[in-house]
Amino acid sequence: MNINELENLRLKILKEIKDKKFFVILATFIIPIMLLWVFIHTPDDFMEHFFMYAYAWCGAIIFLSIVRDIQSDVEKGKSVSIKRNIFPFLVFISMPYLTTNFEKHSIKHVLFFMFVAMTTAYFVIMKHIKEEKINEYIKAFKGKYLKTYFEKLDYKYEFRGFFELNHILSSGFFRPNEVTGGKDTIYGKIDGVEFGLFDIDFHKKVSDYLTYGVFFYAEFNKNINSTTFIKSKDSKIKNIRNLQKIIMDNTEFNNIFDIYSNDIQNAMYIFSPAFMKRILELKKWHLDCPINMSFVGNKIYIFIDTGRDNFEPDINTNATITAKAIKVEFSHFLSIVKTLNLNTRIWKI
């Protein structure tokens, strides 16, 4: 599938979503009418308690829906949609008023009952339709366009969520129960260096934050016998234990990164002035987000905390613009090999 076909598919899906809105609105009249019939033919004393519980449940559902949408926008790096959340929010804050002084035949309760039933039915049905259609576009974008693009570069690409947990755990960044998912895996060679790249998400404890990032590993021709970490000062990674912090002879580097190791001499051997300069260049010019590195055996592991879902197409954006943005994003991650000069002896000055 080429980019023009992909754009035509995007426009077709958007039109299908728009066309379905009218029929969904018609459908939302049926549900409230049925519920209203039940409402009218139910005894008053039962209905009073029913309404109180119904309002409470509706309020909770609306509130959780608003929170989920806002959280989703923030995690994906989007601006929070006020338009999408304003009506559910108004319904939510009106609940305390509408649940007081219940009267079965009160106009305000009947109208509110109809309004809540209609809007809830509409948003639930439309949300399901949109998710189904958007997934259709994402599947086509990744499976038929991105896959072909990466294969032409001699890279292996898989978007269905497979990732190598053994590499992620070997890095020392995460515990087994912290990585919650992964997708968009890319494997290949660049300048003769084998690499793997995974788009993953992780959480710190069940009740704590969820974040997204890109995990990268590559081979280099030096076997490291120590445990050595480098992390940005703004990094969320906290799994560095029983290691000594090392201060380097580079003030700019020390202001941005922290180095931890159980072998100071070996760490100094890795972080030559030239290598530290390359890491600073990578941070400032290519990956302006928290970076974490570890050195294990003959591999370098890097976790880039982008804080968003990467390589994801937006159905509301032109396919050509989206494709260009994803390719640029990917090139930034591949710049790790070139910028850090991993195809040479990294300990040389």
Residues 156-179: pLDDT tens digits? 888 876 667 778 888 888 777 777
Give the whole-angstrom CA distance, residue 29 versus residue 114.
9
Q: Which of 25-29, 88-92, 297-301, 317-321 is least confident?
A: 88-92
Give the whole-angstrom CA distance, residue 54 versus residue 142.
42
Asked whether residue 312 falls in the same domain as residue 164, the answer is yes
* Percentage with pLDDT > 90 across the chain: 9
Given 81, 107, 142, which residue is the final one in a domain?
A: 142
Q: Examine residue 286 and state whether it is found in any structural domain, yes or no.
A: yes
Banded model confidence at residue 349, pLDDT cuts 50, 70, 90: very low
Give the whole-angstrom CA distance, residue 15 versus residue 189.
41
Collapsing DSSP states into helix, strand and coil, what is residue 207?
A: coil
Banded model confidence at residue 237, pLDDT cuts 50, 70, 90: confident
Banded model confidence at residue 86, pLDDT cuts 50, 70, 90: low
Which backbone phi and psi does 90 adopt, to 5 degrees?
-65, -40
Instruction: Return the structure tokens found at 46.
Output: 């039962």
Q: State the helix-helix crossing angle for 82-98 and 107-140, rounded to 10 degrees.
A: 150
Measure Cα distances from 84 to 26, 32, 81, 114, 316 in Å.
Answer: 20, 22, 6, 20, 15
Please tell me whether the overall predicted TM-score, pTM, comes out greater than 0.85 for this model. Answer: no
**Percent of the chain as helix, strand, coil, to the nearest 5:** 55, 20, 25
pLDDT at 300 over 70: yes
- pLDDT recorded at residue 286: 73
Chain CA centroid to CA 26, Å: 35
pLDDT at 154 over 70: yes
- pLDDT recorded at residue 207: 40
Question: 18 is in which domain, residue-wise?
Answer: 3-142
What is the residue whose two structure tokens read 């809105």? 21
- pLDDT recorded at residue 8: 92
pLDDT at 104 over 70: no
Asked whether residue 160 falls in the same domain as residue 126, the answer is no
Would the CA dihedral through 35, 41, 42, 48 be positive or negative? Answer: positive
Banded model confidence at residue 246, pLDDT cuts 50, 70, 90: confident
- Mean pLDDT, rounded, for 14-24: 87
Asked whether residue 88 falls in the same domain as residue 176, the answer is no
Given 109, 142, 175, which residue is the final one in a domain?
A: 142
Asked whether residue 42 falls in the same domain as residue 100, the answer is yes
Q: Provide the CB-side half-sphere exposure for 60 (13 A, CA).
A: 5
Asked whether residue 224 falls in the same domain as residue 271, the answer is yes
- pLDDT recorded at residue 177: 72
Asked whether residue 161 falls in the same domain as residue 78, the answer is no
Asked whether residue 242 falls in the same domain as residue 334, the answer is yes
Q: Examine residue 303 and state whether it is found in any structural domain, yes or no.
A: yes
Asked whether residue 237 falls in the same domain as residue 268, the answer is yes
- pLDDT recorded at residue 12: 93
- Mean pLDDT, rounded, for 42-68: 62
pLDDT at 327 over 50: yes
Q: Examine residue 346 and state whether it is found in any structural domain, yes or no.
A: no
Q: Examine residue 348 and state whether it is found in any structural domain, yes or no.
A: no
Given 90, 108, 142, which residue is the final one in a domain?
A: 142
- pLDDT recorded at residue 319: 92
Would you say 164 and 142 are in contact if contact means Cβ atoms under 8 Å apart?
no
Collapsing DSSP states into helix, strand and coil, what is residue 215?
A: strand
Asked whether residue 118 falls in the same domain as residue 228, the answer is no
Q: Examine residue 297 and state whether it is found in any structural domain, yes or no.
A: yes
Q: Examine residue 347 and state whether it is found in any structural domain, yes or no.
A: no
Q: What DSSP designation does 163 have?
A: -
Beta-ladder partners of 304 = 214, 291
Q: What is the pLDDT of residues 185-199, one digit of tens each?
A: 888 888 788 888 888
User: Taking all residues of the chain, what is their mean pLDDT, rounded to a whole number?
Assistant: 76
Asked whether residue 15 falls in the same domain as residue 115, the answer is yes
Closest CA to 69 of 4, 117, 130, 142: 130
Q: Examine residue 51 and state whether it is found in any structural domain, yes or no.
A: yes
What is the residue whose two structure tokens read 């509408």? 98
Asked whether residue 133 falls in the same domain as residue 165, the answer is no
- Mean pLDDT, rounded, for 318-325: 92
| Beta strand spans in 242-341 (E) | 244-246, 257-261, 291-304
> What domain count does the chain have?
2
Asked whether residue 46 falls in the same domain as residue 123, the answer is yes
- Mean pLDDT, rounded, for 46-52: 59
Q: Examine residue 120 and state whether it is found in any structural domain, yes or no.
A: yes
pLDDT at 341 over 60: yes
pLDDT at 346 over 50: no
Banded model confidence at residue 55, pLDDT cuts 50, 70, 90: low
Collapsing DSSP states into helix, strand and coil, what is residue 303?
A: strand
Instruction: Return the structure tokens found at 39.
Output: 């409402």
